[in-house]
Structure formats: structure tokens, C-alpha cells
């Protein structure tokens, strides 16, 4: 009996020792959906010989819950600025070893200055992409429903029930992200969009409740396809996602023209940051991945594919014209003045906001 | 000797119960008595075993029922529980109405067909549940197959909006849980003695009366089992309403998701889960007791 066990153990050890060298080095990346040119992933594997395991999510909340549960198994994750700030204080990330990131020299000081609000000194993260939250719309349908002078460049398109009532028939999606939608409503009302005062936040509720009957769905990723195939005509969503919908419609050649507008009232400017988890299985490989992404040509390839601006100054010479010259992607100085950023809510305010969001969505 | 063996035999199922049910429940219960915190894991206190007995004492000293009080204060939770129970009840009824005739047809089919029919009921399980729900998006969507078919048949001019409405949720739930209704009913109907029906007809019952007075009562254990198998998981269902339903479908599974993900409030999420368990278990235990008493009385 004992001899058998020893034999078995011996066999198991042998199997392990055979298996181990065969295991290639891996880096596990958890990024937003539709957020990279897949060819870049293959390129990284070819250049470094590291196997890349790439998973996607579509909400900051899902990522945060995984991070706070601990041992995600991911090396690199991509939270947005406000979430990053909170996760840094929860101890979810490790400090970057900047000696391993020579491509940091390519980064854009203007953007680094803004992201330092969330991550002082940019000690924990690099900027991957940044963008705005605005209005994606089907040009033909919206003109058909609301006339040629439809307020497509104004938040009134979404937050004025008179417009929404007419748009309901052709379909409206809104991001299922209270931290994106509520600041926009406050801006529309002329309040401070970054207010954490429950009384001010409460002012958003009646506005949203009035339009909820006309919203087909609150969702943060379905609107790309829904816009592209004509299921909906308006979406409150992220800039690059809408532009991807525009391209998918053009590729399908289905006669649908999608456009993105930064509302004249102003829009949220956000930053998606790559960071390395505190318990990353392969921090060295993670640094290699970050450095790879910060390569000027790679960053440009990513932006050319996903239609989001990046925080990499050196990449700009490699950007194609319809990315760098599009003010929906790289807004001009005048528009930038009108953009605002937000800071994370504390636990108590977060609860109030989520509760309000549930009440709004369910109409209760 | 006989006693030790019996003890051992009993020990096996009970240790499974302990390991797979009681221990996870104890963990959830413990979290529900904690407070949320910005840390990994996001609640406090956490058990510090290195401090030994003092650590355990400190853990219990920090427990309170604050989260349960919070649930009682806000009517959102009660609305969500009630709405989930209502959706589950209606789906169970629909599944029964669809499932019973299927099971009946299977049980009355020629014996050589039955394995094939059984296979057909089980077959959908061979593909992923998620893929099956996703394909309903393709069927029910505005440009989906159903609308294309209806338009082609000339029954409608404008596409019907089914996806992202409660109707789509009911379709998804009934479709997904139908086998759980069909199989237990089929199992009882198959064992049904055909002589009983013959006797009923000999004694002057019409076919319908024979069904209603003999077949249906005898299939009751299967119907009850099927209803439980559908009702209980549907109450906590999250995937189907979030993929097929719109934002207006309020279900406790969605509230739980919000507490867990949007609020990062594991303690309140755990309290919601514990309460859900109680809401489900207490009526079921009472029901079983009553059934048992009835059986004893009959004997």
C-alpha cells in the first residue's frame, strides 16, 4: 500500500517536472470589450515569446469587484481614472518599476498631468486611451423623426422628454453607468457635474425619470451593434464606441450613417489607465506589456483601430488622418475647455447614487 | 459493528451537506453581519486566526444587524422580492401549462419512441446555457427571425418589439426551465398503471374525467417536484432578465448584482441573499411538513 503511494507520488512528481518547463511564460490582461486591435496581441506574442491571455469586461464595477475580491489572476487591468484612484487606496495595485518602462518617454505630458489627479505622479498607471461621453446618433433617422434642425449637438436631445417621446419609436440606449449619466444631467441643469452633495445629485432624478419610459435599454456595450444595424437611433455612450458603430455600419453598407457629437453643454472627459495588480503572477511580463503598448507605433495602431485618443504624444505621427484630424476623437482647444472630469464618490454617496439609479431604471 | 456502519453511511451525505451547503451559508451569514470597507476583501472585520481565541472574540464583538435594518428601511428590496416571486410564480405556471402536455404525450407515446423523445428534451443541455439565451436575442430582435417570418407571412407590417420586454423574459425562462418541469412529470406519468384508466372508463368516466380524477392526481408528486425545480431557481434568476429583459424588470438577482458590483457592498448583498434563502426555505419547509402530515393521516 505504502509502496503504491510512493510510486504514485513519484509518477506525479515526474509528470509535474515534465509539465513545468513546457509552460510558456504568460501575461494575463483584462481590458474593456472592443478596445484593441487584435493584431497587436499577436504582435506582442511574436516579439516577446510571452503567451498573452486576453479577457474583456464592459463595466468598471465588474472589474472593481474582482480586484477587491483579491487574487484576480490578471497581471494588467484597465480601470478608468476615478475607479483607479479608489482602487489604489484599497491597495489593489503595485507601483510601476519605471526603469522597466523606457517607452514612458513617449507619453504626453498634458494627459499625464490630468491623470495625476487620480494617480499622483502616475506611479501606478499609464494612460491607455482617453475619450469623452456623448451622443451617438443615426443621422438619417434622427432628422426624419425630429426634423433637420434636431438638437443632435445638445444634451436636450436626451434629457428633454419632448424629444425622447418622438425618438422612443426608433430606439434609445443609455449607458448603464450612473457615474457617467448623472454628471451629464447635472451639467445639463447647469449644476456642478462633479457634485457629491446628495441634494444636488437628487436633482438628476426627476429629469431621468421623465425620459425612462422612452429608453429601450440601459446597457454599456450593446449599443455599438444596435446603432450599426439600425435597431436604435440614439445612444448616450463613449466616443470611440460610437465611431466603431459608424465604421461597422459603413462596412455593412446598409445605408446607415452614424455620427458622434460632443454636446455643446459639455461632456465628461475620462481616462482609462493600465495598471499592474498587487498580486500579479508575472509582474515582469506585465511591465513588458505596458512598455509594448507605449511604443509609439503600437499605441497609434490601437487608436487607429478603436477610434479613441491615447496619451502617447510620439504616436501622433503614426495616426491616420481620420483619427488625428477628427475633433470627435482629438477635440480642439475650444471643445476641451468645455470638457469636465469627475472624482470618485465615497461609500455613502455611492449608495445614494446606486439606489437612485435603480429607482430610475425600474420606474419605482 | 452494525451501528458504526450505519453511522458511517449517514455521515457521508451529511458531510456533503455540511461542506456544500452549511459552510458556504455560514460564510455568507458572517459577511452579512460585517461592515463594508475599502480594502481587499471589501468588508470588515475579517477573521484573524493568528490572534487565536481573542481574534474570534473580536470578530463576534464587531457583528451587528445593521444591514438587515437597512433592508427593512428601504422599500426597494421588498418590491424586488415580491416582483421576483411573482415572475417566478407566473413562469412556473406557464412552464407547467406547456410542460404537462409534453410529458403526457411522451408517456403515452409508443414505448420504442420514448428514449428518443427523452433525448430530445435533454438535448438542449448539450449546448451552453448562455448560447441558448443569446440565440433568443437573434430570434426575438427587431430584425430577428421571428419578425422576419411574421412579416414574410404578411401577419404584421411593423416589426414587433419583444426583445427587452417582460415577454422576452418569460419566453426565455419558460424555454430554459422547461426540461426541469417535463422530466419529473414524465417520470410519474410513465409509471402510471394503464389499468387504472381502463377501470375508470369501465366505471363510467369520460376520458376527460378519467384524466382529471385519476391521471392528474396521481401525477401530483411529479407536478410538485417540477414546480419546485422551476420556481426556486427562477426567483434568483439574473442572466435571463439581464440579457433578454429591459431595465424595467425588477428582480432580486439584479438588486443583488447592484449591491455587489455597483455599491461594492458585500455585507448588504449577503444580507439580501440570506433573506432570499429564508423567504424560499420557510414556505417550502412548511409545505413539506403539511404534505407529510397529510400522508400520515391517509395511512
Residues A235 and A249 in one domain: yes
Residues A184 and A261 in one domain: yes
Checking if the pLDDT of A362 tops 90, the result is: no
Checking if the pLDDT of A13 tops 70, the result is: no
* Mean pLDDT of chain B, nearest integer: 89
Kindly state whether residue A21 falls inside one of the protein's structural domains: no
Residues A244 and A147 in one domain: yes
Residues A177 and A256 in one domain: yes
Residues A234 and A323 in one domain: no
User: CB contact, 8 Å: B24 with chain A?
Assistant: no
**Chain A contacts in chain B segment 143-162 (CB below 8 A):** 143
DSSP E strands: which ranges in chain B? Answer: 35-36, 43-44
**Residue-range domain boundaries for chain B:** 72-298
pLDDT in tens, B132-187: 999 999 999 888 899 999 999 999 888 888 888 889 999 999 999 999 999 999 99
Rounded alpha-carbon distances, angstroms, from residue A172 to A161, A256, A260: 12, 16, 14
Per the DSSP assignment, residues forming a β-bridge with A273 are A127
Contacts 24+ apart (CB under 8 A), A52-57: A52/A26, A52/A27, A52/A289, A53/A26, A53/A27, A53/A28, A53/A29, A54/A28, A54/A29, A55/A28, A55/A29, A55/A30, A55/A31, A56/A30, A56/A31, A56/A32, A57/A30, A57/A31, A57/A32, A57/A33
Q: Write out the three cell numbers for B81.
A: 422580492
Residues A99 and A174 in one domain: no
Residue of A nearest to B249 (CA): A362
Residues A283 and A235 in one domain: no
Q: Assign residue A201 a region: left if phi > 0, alpha if psi is -120 to 50, beta otherwise?
A: alpha
Chain B residues touching A363 at Cβ < 8 A: 248
CB contact under 8 A, B264 and A218: no
Residues A316-344 as b or e (16 or more Cβ within 10 Å = b) = bebbeeebbebebbbbeeebeebbbbbeb
Identify the pLDDT of residue B115. 93
Residues A120 and A190 in one domain: no
Residues A263 and A141 in one domain: yes
Question: Cα A335 to the chain's mean position, in Å?
Answer: 20
Chain B residues touching A59 at Cβ < 8 A: 261
pLDDT in tens, A154-187: 999 999 999 999 999 999 999 999 999 999 999 9
CB contact under 8 A, B42 and A68: yes
Question: What's the CATH fold of domain B72-298?
Answer: MetI-like fold (1.10.3720)
| Strand A172-174 relative to strand A217-218, pairing | parallel
Between A17 and B234, the more confident residue is: B234
Tell me how many domains chain A contains: 2
Kindly state whether residue A220 falls inside one of the protein's structural domains: yes
Kindly state whether residue A58 falls inside one of the protein's structural domains: yes
pLDDT in tens, B71-90: 888 888 999 999 999 999 99
Residues A246 and A291 in one domain: no
The closest CB to that of B260, out of A65, A178, A363, belongs to A65
Kindly state whether residue A9 falls inside one of the protein's structural domains: no
Q: How far is A125 from chain B (nearest CA, A)?
A: 19
What 3-state DSSP class applies to B160?
Answer: coil
User: ω before B45 within 30° of 0 (cis)?
Assistant: yes
Checking if the pLDDT of A277 tops 90, the result is: yes
Residues 6 or more apart whose CB falls under 8 angstroms from that of B58 comprise B45, B48, B51
pLDDT in tens, A48-68: 999 999 999 988 989 999 999
CB contact under 8 A, A178 and B141: no
Checking if the pLDDT of A21 tops 80, the result is: no
Residues A119 and A31 in one domain: yes
* Mean pLDDT of chain A, nearest integer: 91
Q: What is the pTM of this model?
A: 0.80
Kindly state whether residue A50 falls inside one of the protein's structural domains: yes
Note down the domain range covering A292.
26-131+269-330
Can you give the CATH number for the domain in which A173 is found?
3.40.190.10
pLDDT in tens, A174-232: 999 999 999 999 999 999 999 999 999 999 999 999 999 999 889 898 899 999 989 89
List, as one string, the DSSP characters of A263-321.
-TT-EEEEEEEEEEBTT-S-HHHHHHHHHHHTSHHHHHHHHHHH--B-SBGGGGGGS-H
Amino acid at each position: 500500500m505504502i509502496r503504491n503511494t510512493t510510486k504514485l507520488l513519484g509518477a506525479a512528481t515526474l509528470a509535474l517536472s515534465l509539465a513545468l518547463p513546457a509552460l510558456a511564460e504568460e501575461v494575463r490582461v483584462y481590458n474593456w470589450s472592443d478596445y484593441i486591435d487584435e493584431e497587436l496581441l499577436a504582435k506582442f506574442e511574436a516579439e516577446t515569446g510571452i503567451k498573452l491571455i486576453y479577457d474583456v469586461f464592459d463595466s468598471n464595477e465588474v472589474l472593481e469587484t474582482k480586484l477587491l475580491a483579491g487574487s484576480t489572476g490578471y497581471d494588467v487591468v484597465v480601470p478608468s481614472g476615478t475607479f483607479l484612484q479608489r482602487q489604489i487606496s484599497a491597495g489593489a495595485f503595485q507601483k510601476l518599476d519605471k526603469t522597466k518602462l523606457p517607452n514612458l518617454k513617449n507619453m504626453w505630458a498634458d494627459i499625464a498631468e490630468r491623470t495625476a489627479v487620480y494617480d499622483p505622479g502616475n506611479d501606478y498607471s499609464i494612460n491607455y486611451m482617453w475619450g469623452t461621453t456623448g451622443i451617438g446618433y443615426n443621422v438619417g433617422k434622427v432628422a426624419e423623426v425630429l426634423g433637420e434642425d434636431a438638437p443632435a449637438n445638445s444634451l436636450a436631445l436626451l434629457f428633454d422628454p419632448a424629444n425622447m417621446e418622438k425618438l422612443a419609436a426608433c430606439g434609445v440606449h443609455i449607458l448603464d453607468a450612473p457615474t457617467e449619466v448623472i454628471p451629464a444631467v447635472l451639467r445639463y441643469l447647469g449644476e456642478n457635474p462633479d457634485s457629491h452633495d446628495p441634494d444636488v445629485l437628487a436633482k438628476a432624478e426627476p429629469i431621468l425619470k421623465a425620459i425612462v419610459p422612452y429608453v429601450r435599454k440601459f446597457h454599456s456595450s450593446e449599443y455599438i451593434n444596435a446603432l450599426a444595424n439600425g435597431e436604435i437611433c440614439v445612444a448616450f455612450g463613449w466616443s470611440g464606441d460610437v465611431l466603431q458603430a459608424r465604421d461597422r455600419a459603413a462596412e455593412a453598407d446598409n445605408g446607415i450613417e452614424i455620427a458622434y457629437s460632443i454636446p455643446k453643454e459639455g461632456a465628461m472627459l475620462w481616462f482609462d489607465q493600465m495598471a499592474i495588480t498587487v498580486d500579479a503572477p508575472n509582474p515582469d511580463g506585465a511591465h513588458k506589456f505596458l512598455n509594448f503598448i507605449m511604443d509609439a507605433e503600437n499605441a497609434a495602431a490601437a487608436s487607429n483601430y478603436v477610434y479613441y485618443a491615447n496619451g502617447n504624444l510620439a504616436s501622433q505621427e503614426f495616426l491616420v488622418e481620420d483619427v488625428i484630424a477628427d475633433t470627435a476623437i482629438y477635440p480642439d482647444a475650444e471643445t476641451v475647455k468645455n470638457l469636465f472630469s469627475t472624482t470618485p464618490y465615497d461609500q455613502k454617496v455611492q449608495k445614494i447614487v446606486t439606489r437612485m439609479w435603480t429607482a430610475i431604471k425600474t420606474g419605482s | 459493528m452494525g451501528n458504526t456502519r450505519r453511522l458511517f453511511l449517514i455521515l457521508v451525505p451529511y458531510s456533503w451537506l455540511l461542506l456544500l451547503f452549511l459552510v458556504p451559508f455560514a460564510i455568507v451569514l458572517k459577511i452579512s453581519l460585517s461592515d463594508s470597507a475599502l480594502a481587499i476583501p471589501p468588508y470588515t472585520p475579517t477573521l484573524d486566526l493568528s490572534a487565536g481565541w481573542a481574534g474570534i472574540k473580536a470578530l463576534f464583538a464587531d457583528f451587528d444587524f445593521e444591514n438587515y435594518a437597512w433592508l427593512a428601511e428601504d422599500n426597494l428590496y421588498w418590491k424586488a422580492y415580491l416582483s421576483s416571486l411573482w415572475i417566478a410564480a407566473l413562469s412556473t405556471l406557464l412552464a407547467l401549462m406547456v410542460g404537462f402536455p409534453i410529458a403526457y404525450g411522451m408517456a403515452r407515446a409508443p414505448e420504442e419512441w420514448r428514449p428518443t423523445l427523452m433525448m430530445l428534451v435533454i438535448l438542449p443541455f448539450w449546448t451552453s446555457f448562455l448560447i441558448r439565451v443569446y440565440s433568443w436575442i437573434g430570434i426575438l430582435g427587431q430584425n430577428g427571425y421571428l419578425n422576419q417570418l411574421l412579416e414574410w407571412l404578411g401577419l404584421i407590417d411593423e416589426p414587433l418589439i419583444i426583445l427587452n420586454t417582460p415577454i422576452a423574459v418569460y419566453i426565455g425562462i419558460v424555454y430554459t426551465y422547461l426540461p426541469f418541469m417535463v422530466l419529473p412529470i414524465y417520470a410519474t406519468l410513465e409509471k402510471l398503471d394503464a389499468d387504472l384508466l381502463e377501470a375508470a372508463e369501465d366505471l363510467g368516466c369520460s376520458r376527460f374525467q378519467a384524466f382529471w380524477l385519476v391521471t392528474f392526481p396521481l401525477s401530483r408528486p411529479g407536478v410538485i417536484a417540477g414546480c419546485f425545480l422551476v420556481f426556486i431557481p427562477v426567483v434568483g434568476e439574473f442572466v435571463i432578465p439581464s440579457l433578454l429583459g429591459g431595465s424595467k424588470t425588477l428582480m432580486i438577482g439584479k438588486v443583488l448584482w447592484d449591491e455587489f458590483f455597483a455599491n461594492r457592498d458585500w455585507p448588504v448583498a449577503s444580507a439580501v441573499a440570506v433573506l432570499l434563502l429564508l423567504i424560499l426555505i420557510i414556505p417550502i419547509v412548511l409545505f413539506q411538513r403539511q404534505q407529510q402530515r397529510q400522508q400520515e393521516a391517509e395511512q
